[in-house]
Amino acid sequence: MAELPVLQKKIKKRNWKKILFYGLAILIILCLGAFFFINNFINKSLPQIEGTIELPLLEDEVTVVTDGSGVPHIKAKNDHDLFVAQGYMQAQNRMFQMELSRRQASGTLSEVVGDATVEQDKYFRALGLRRAAEKSYDSYSDDAKQVLEWFAEGINAYIDEATNNNSLPVEFLLMGVTPQKWTPIDSLTIGKYMAFDLGGHWERQAFNYYALNHFSEEKAYELFPHYPKSRSTILQEDEVDIAANLAHAVIPHSFNGSNNWVVSGKKTKNGLPLLADDPHLGLATPSIWLQMHLETDEMNVSGVIFAGVPGIILGHNDKIAWGVTNTGPDVQQLYLEKRNPDNEQEFLFEDKWEKAAVIDEPIKVKDGETIEYQVVETRHGPVVSEFAKESGKDVVLSLRWTALDPTTELEAILDINRAENWAEFEKGLEKFLVPAQNFVFAAKDGTIAYKANGRIPIYENGDDALLPLPGWEAKYEWKDFIPYDKLPRVVNPEKGFIATANNKVAGENYPYHISNVWAQPYRYERIEEVLASRDDLTAEDMKAFQMDTMNLRAREFVPIFSDILSEAKLGDIEKQALAELEKWDFKDEANASQPLIFHHWFDEIEAILYDEIPDTMMKLFGSRGQTTDELLRKAASGEGSEWIDENGGLEQVLGQSLERTVVKLKEEYGEDVTAWKWGEYHKVQFTHPLSGINPILAYFFNHEKPMPVGGSDVTPMAASYNKETGEVDHGASWRFVIDLNNSDVGYHIVGPGQEGHFKSKWYHDQMDDWVEGTYHETKLSDVKGKKLLLTPAKK
């Protein structure tokens, strides 16, 4: 009997082991079940790329072949089915991106995000992109409206199907939102957002106004934009289209801009034109671009489009190819308004009080109260004073902007998709009004051409576009726009190529003002340098050149800085850094130390020069690199600069900024200057908009770790970056090259990939390609891949 307690203990121990074993087994089963349930739920929202889907909307069967790079090739028997299918396939790939895009442009993000985006929503409600889209819709032809309706029907077919099947992308679950019906206005609003993203300078006008009110005239005017004299422009005198009475052309961008060029057959190995285009926009997941191929008996076009918009905006068909960069003309004008002290809704014009429009724009806020917000619109446009920081503190500023007028860009896209030659293409461009873009064109018939296309207001005096104008005087009103046949244009130039990179285009002989603010000339001058030097160019050369990291800003300034500091008293590490720069080949390569030193040095120069300017106003000081360059040139030539002289002169500024640079870099990367690497700081990741919520979402949505990458904001391989973190967040959102000797094939990179679903193999598969310059081929015919049939309802 004495053994009974021992036996009982053993039994209890065994029971506890069994309980623990079964408990763990149950837990594992539950975890596995949860994993498989979640995995299955997430996988339900993966796009279907093979098999059959019934779409009762269709009139005939549509074939969608998804190739090895995730590009859908849609072939339909009629336009109705083509655009229904395009809407459906876009929604399958990018519905969450489309939802965020229409909300951001419409100013309704706070409905799903909360109070964090209220100020952003106020800004977009004030601008009124959606109101402008609604006005534009009435300007479209019945045919174009029909395309918009068909496209929206395809999107809504997906929304209904995914909602009913509980297969919406997981982001909708995380945000706690279900997408509402898509409308044609949503597509047009996204189009207006791209005009916002690509073209504006009112912030610089506000900054100039601030500068004049806070600094001496001499100091303020030194900050005003000046393009360096005797630097290259896009069009040369011998390239002028005599019929259009032109002499030059233009291209700017407040941030990074874009590159494109076209080469005639006399400079190519095979005797037919080459075209290259890489528009520079924000870099994120998903890509801002969606690559697609659309085919009917009457159209066969391939390229990229913004998710939520029908057609193909950039690319090629079997006869022609085209690409764009941002012209960046002065299409935004701030006006100072005099408000009636007895009626705040009235403003003075020609000695009379005019009643402004007051528009209610209530902002719904998730988990919060609706904010009653009103937009005031004068005869010029919305009042934006609250967004002009100190410039708008004591005045009323309204904004006149071409993109807020009714415009018809989609109509132009549909026309140029079908064009077969330059005459038809240029005719289609008449309807492309905003944003003003530099189109380059090539055709199988050997034609190459260029046009700075869009609605550009006529200024009698270009200086008027530098500052806000008196809104109460009629003489400052926009009177008209540059006539279409007078826009900068050239066809088949003698030199055999045309290139644009947001630099100044039109010279002194051009009769109209286009812009005061241009991109720095370095990218264009490098492109011109390379294209002028070769007469045997190939598509492979074009692809390699889009990855060119030559920094002409460094090539200009490093010798100047070195000479000025040659007798200066420098510390050992500063001398080492300067010695590294002196032996540099001026390429911004990821594994080189010199780009890290050079770009940080310029950042420190600006920190010293502009120390008096508050951070809020620095954000409005767009394209200040151009200003900094001019201040340095003036000082180096002996002309002097108030901003540099007040900081002890050029030698003092350069020495102090170099010291700051090496102290900062030494702390971050160690004392061995030769071991520093640009790519340890300059990295790209393509982040998802929800990845910042917590690290778990970042792990799933961002996939790859940040990758070292070469280039910068002044090299042809454009890779602009956040100065605080080094994250590359703006650059070549799409790279495209085509040889018109074989217009069936285009070469593409869409970073970071085609798909918006984080479990798709095409989600981030082009990240390495983007960094390394590895292109994929997309064909117009004989396409191989996964086949999906979209079928009409069974009769």
User: Binding site: residue ranges?
Assistant: 330
Chain center to CA of 165? 34
Cα separation values, 727 from 724, 750, 792, Å: 8, 18, 47
Q: How many CB atoms lie within 10 A of CB 35?
A: 10
CA dist., res. 447 & res. 387, Å (int): 46
**Catalytic residue check, 258:** yes
For residue 516, what are the contacts with CB-CB under 8 A and spacing of at least 6? 201, 224, 225, 330, 462, 463, 465, 466
Among the listed residues 69, 258, 287, 385, the single catalytic one is 258
Q: How many CB atoms lie within 10 A of CB 233?
A: 25
Residue found under tokens 């494109």 = 260
Residue found under tokens 């040889």 = 739
Amino acid identity at 597: I
Q: Are strands 683-684 and 707-708 parallel, antiparallel or unpaired?
A: antiparallel
Amino acid identity at 465: A
Maximum Cα interatomic distance, the chain, rounded to a whole number of Å: 119
CA angle 202, 609, 601 (to 5 degrees): 105
Q: Which of 497, 566, 43 is nearest to 236 (CA)?
A: 497
Q: Which residues are annotated as a binding site for Ca(2+)?
A: 330
Amino acid identity at 758: F
Instruction: Enter the DSSP assignment of 514.
Output: -
Partners of 321 in the β-ladder: 316, 442
**Are the beta carbons of 310 and 370 closer than 8 angstroms?**
no
Which alpha helices (H) appear in 517-551, and where do they start and end? 522-532, 539-545
Q: Which of 290, 269, 279, 305 is nearest to 147 (CA)?
A: 305
Q: What are phi and psi of 753, to 5 degrees?
A: 165, 175
Q: What are phi and psi of 488, to 5 degrees?
A: -55, 130
791 SS3 class? strand
User: Residue 84 is encoded by which pair of tokens?
Assistant: 């229904």
586, 590, 595, 601: CA torsion to nearest 10: 170
* Residues forming the active site: 258
